[in-house]
Structure 1
């Protein structure tokens, strides 16, 4: 089915695609280790998202030592939270729960062409208000290489919302498909909140302080994750 709903997504790398296929096949067969396979999927996704949103941001910004420390802190927080929580949530999850995760995950795998001959993405739809926030950023920047927004705080709030949507959609939603004990669920939300706080620190301590040329490059870079073409 073709969708024209705005999405947020990332290129579906060959390694992530291979791990995802392994998990989906295991879940379809009610394999006892399907949770372990998805654990590997989440760790790979974490590595790729950190690369897109943190490592490459540092390269764009040519950050100083203070900015690099902030980015390193966020990357470390995200990696540790993902590894610890994913192990607790998925490794011993029931096959029925992992089948629910598989259904959710399969629905995130999209192609840019109706015959599936285009580019593959891992993508999720976003609501119209976030789409408008992103459209407004791109409209204000226009075609100019540099970007000096009239209200930098508003721009940063929109990027905060973008990052939080990515974290919730790709990491929290799958976990919510699994039956969790009260302690594990509390740890999950604490871990997710910690990652969001660290990511917001990067936005306000690094991205917010970029020079107009660097900020323009950052906006162009992040716009590739905002998918407005039809996905299938």
Structure 2
């Protein structure tokens, strides 16, 4: 897979709100994760994150935006062609959260480019995200970019960008600044699973952390 430079990715995210790479390796790894039943809170699940998200390519882009950011979301969002979603409303000029999406084979998605530059006033949706109607986006003069990912791929987007999943699904990660992450609930990890504390430590670095907490035993 040919990657653009981190500078190109940063420019695309700042201007359009997203950066996309088609990658059949990602598609196959997502298929394997699906076959295992999406065991996020497991040694396999943490290794999956480390290999596919915290590699040098994505890490470099993350660090170009934030001196420090923490992983605060790790879950899957699937097909919902009738709704446009965003992860957070625009509250500040600077981006506070970068979202990493690993797309399944056969995915089809619309990204509303430059929507992150507007106050969309999204409202709470049933899937835990925010929802904004197409009429609101079109009224701002925005038009979606539709992308077909026959063999999967990776997208990085400003959490304030609106998107619409027509087919497929994305294993999704969100990295937030320290100030923003303070307002998020910690992701729970079962204490009884061996080696997860070591795996969590391996995921952290000077510039990237994780917002996990072990569940109390018993």
Give the structure-1-normalised TM-score: 0.28
Structure (1/2) with the larger strand percentage: 2
Larger radius of gyration between Structure 1 and Structure 2 = 1
Structure (1/2) with the larger helix percentage: 1
